[in-house]
Amino acid sequence: MLKIASFIFLFIIIFFTNCKNASQENKTTTQYFDTFQLHTFLEQHLIEKNQQNDIKAFYQQRDNAFVWLNDSGLNEYAKSFIELLSNEDSLQKTNNATSKQKFQKLYSTISSNTKFNIKDSATKAFEFLLTTIFLDYAQQHWEGISEEKIKQSGWFITKNNISATQRLNIFLKNDISKNPSYLPVNRQYALLNDYFKKYIAIEKKGGWKNWTSNIKGFKKEDSSATISLIKQQLVLQEDLVTNDNTNVFNDALEVAVKKFQKRFGLNEDGIITGKTLIEMNIPLRQRIQQLMVNIERSKWMPIEQQGDYLAVNIPDFKLLVYNNNKLEWSCNVVVGKSQISSNTIIFNDSLENIVFSPYWNLPSSIMFKETLPAMSRNGQYLNNHNMEIINNNEQIIAQSQIKQSQLGKNFPYMIRQKPGKNNALGLVKFLFPNNYNIYMHDTPEKSLFEESNRMFSHGCIRVKEPVKLAKFLLRKDTSWTDEKISNAMNSGKEIYVKMKNKVPVYIAYFTAWVDRAGNLNYRDDIYHHDVKMKQLIF
């Protein structure tokens, strides 16, 4: 694969200078080249056979039209991509002396011309070279680790297997004039990468200083030399606007601490103690690694998502509801416990059914570990919990008919909880059929939504605002009025509603992301997936 990174910056400066006037917004016409010229270039530059075939197929689809140049010079796509290269520090790590010499000779030929000429052989060679650079860059930076390794990390969201040439086509279809920073990768990639570069720059300048371990905490009006260090750190993290260089915990610091707490999902009380103190003491290098892990995850997500969809970020304990790719609203959720067997699985599927007044069919793990032993101790257990035994034909079996000896691993029936306000699934559930038996649902245990770490379920996702979610999903069906939804939820009889249009659901796992306000958020690695990821990518 062609390596050009070590000399691209020289080109950027000189080429932009020489082509500045030529690339002004004028009327341009599509320009074409001869296939023979492309084949000659690919052979002369020792491009790998697979990549040669990709480049040939790409240009063939475009009828051999230029991608990066028009009859006036560089087009907007070329400028956008070259600017990306100029800001990419990691490109400086690669070096190929032979390729560098070829490029410099090519550039010298182009720059010696007093007037830009798209028909020059050197100009055409530049066109092909920049395409090769893009494909190299896309593969190196946006492809991500293999699908096998992704699954090893516990991630089962379907990865977009998009080739480098497909990414180039997506890049060229975007309106660069409206969004010059557009990249053919999920938007979180660029947002996180920007913070990664900022943190690397901070690290090169010495980072922020660690505090002493015997500090219990600080609140407004406290005074300490450590408070000055805290201010320095919060300025670097963009929570505090300016550092007044005093040792006093003042109003400005209290506001900054609250902003920090919001970014970390903590109680926004403006006091530096407990979890806030712990999060502030995490070393900068550890934060950088956390960013790198989540930048890698961003490569696995869809580039773009149209229409309605739902997303749950497990470490944030939040459901995000999107209307036409815009965040409509969000609410707290409860996810699976920290034990591996109860973890909520990371995957995607499509919501197909809403079930009002649902039965709860007990999972076998709960039935054998909890319910059957309780039935053995109490003959009225099922009646007390509004449950019933059914056979494979859903015929009800009275508990009195069950022998004590059957209440073990060979129990031949199923147990379900009948609809009602105390049903474990609440008054509604949302089904997106999957191999993990995970779905979203209401719950009678409303108080758990106010906890900070909401890991209480056996894997399914409990939603704080199920009525609002049901109304959102059915809002385009005029037959489902608010009154009808309320009646269905409280009917005491299970009612299935098949969605007219399936809604994509993503159960994701990000411990770092940039929110819609542009703020960098961090959360705890509650299932230790970051640990696995570090082993795979570092």
For 176-217, what is each residue's pLDDT tens digit?
Answer: 888 888 999 999 999 999 999 999 999 999 998 887 667 889
Higher per-residue confidence, 24 vs 30: 30
Q: Map residue 90 onto helix, strand or coil.
A: helix
Quote the pLDDT of residue 403. Answer: 86
Give the confidence band of 101 by pLDDT, cuts at 50, 70, 90: low
Structural domains of the chain, ranges and CATH numbers in brackets = 5-184 (no CATH), 211-282 (1.10.101.10), 306-359+419-530 (2.40.440.10), 364-416 (no CATH)
Q: Which amino acid is at 358?
A: P
Quote the pLDDT of residue 21. Answer: 43
Q: At what angle do helices 35-44 and 121-142 cross, to 10 degrees?
A: 60
Is residue 200 a contact partner of residue 288, using CB atoms and an 8 Å limit?
yes
pLDDT in tens, 120-129: 887 888 889 8
Higher per-residue confidence, 17 vs 281: 281
Residue whose tokens read 């073990």: 408
Lookup: tokens for 367:
């039935």
Residue 356: other Cβ atoms inside 10 A: 23
Residue 500: other Cβ atoms inside 10 A: 8
Is residue 356 a contact partner of residue 480, using CB atoms and an 8 Å limit?
no
Phi, psi of 110 (to 5 degrees): -65, -45
62: closest CA among 33, 36, 39, 28?
A: 33
Q: How far is CA 268 from CA 260, 288, 294, 444, in A?
A: 8, 24, 25, 27
Phi, psi of 306 (to 5 degrees): -105, 160
Mean pLDDT of 83-91: 67
Is residue 485 a contact partner of residue 467, using CB atoms and an 8 Å limit?
yes
Q: What is the pTM of this model?
A: 0.89
- Judging by beta carbons within 10 Å of its beta carbon (0-12, 13-18, 19+), is residue 57 exposed, middle or buried? exposed
Distance of alpha carbon 433 from alpha carbon 437, whole angstroms:
7
pLDDT in tens, 209-236: 887 667 889 999 999 999 999 999 999 9
